[in-house]
Amino acid sequence: MRRFAVRLMVSGILSALLATVPSVGPVYAGGDPPASEAPAPKKKKGASYIEEPSFVEGYRVAYATIYDRNDFAAAIDQLRALGRDDNAAVANLIGYAYRKLGNYQLSQVWYERALRSDPNHVRTWQYYGLWQVEQGNREQAQYHLSRIASLCGTGCEEYRSLADALGRQPGTGLVY
């Protein structure tokens, strides 16, 4: 079941990445646009990270390092090496890895960085909500749960996961 969940999450992330690919421009009968309409060549500097196979592969490897091997320190190094700390998915995974290592202060920094990058990143709201539960901040976790509900509804996995954590007895020392 866990392996299926990991594959489902990877599939979702890759789908989200593919959704950021720019649409195809106009199609001309002769194939190429007239010289007067030809766009100036784009610089690679502003290219989307989905256009970088090395990013996608590096993210996939770091993801597996976290969820398959539970090697959180190595995953942090792999994610930082991607050079995309401003990406919500990357920052969220770094935060998750720090949380699993017990470094709650750095974990919080990375979760907040992820939300600054993308305030609608549902997985970050979930993981940061679980962080809040672990810290005993149930009111804050409830706020995170309401944000998730507004983004993906009450039927999504992220909502169910955080709601389940909030439904458990406080102070039991459970780690998510």
| pLDDT of residue 7 exceeding 80 | no
Model pLDDT, residue 169: 79
**Between the ranges 18-27, 49-58, 65-74, where is the mean pLDDT highest?**
65-74
| Average pLDDT score, the chain | 79
Can you say whether the dihedral through the CA atoms of 143, 149, 154, 158 is positive or negative? negative
- CA separation for the pair 140, 42 (Å, rounded): 44
| pLDDT of residue 73 exceeding 50 | yes
Decide: 171 and 139 in contact? Cβ < 8 Å.
Answer: no
Element (H, E) at 111: helix 104-117
Which tens digits make up the pLDDT trace of 113-172? 999 999 999 999 999 999 999 999 999 999 999 999 999 999 999 999 999 999 987 765
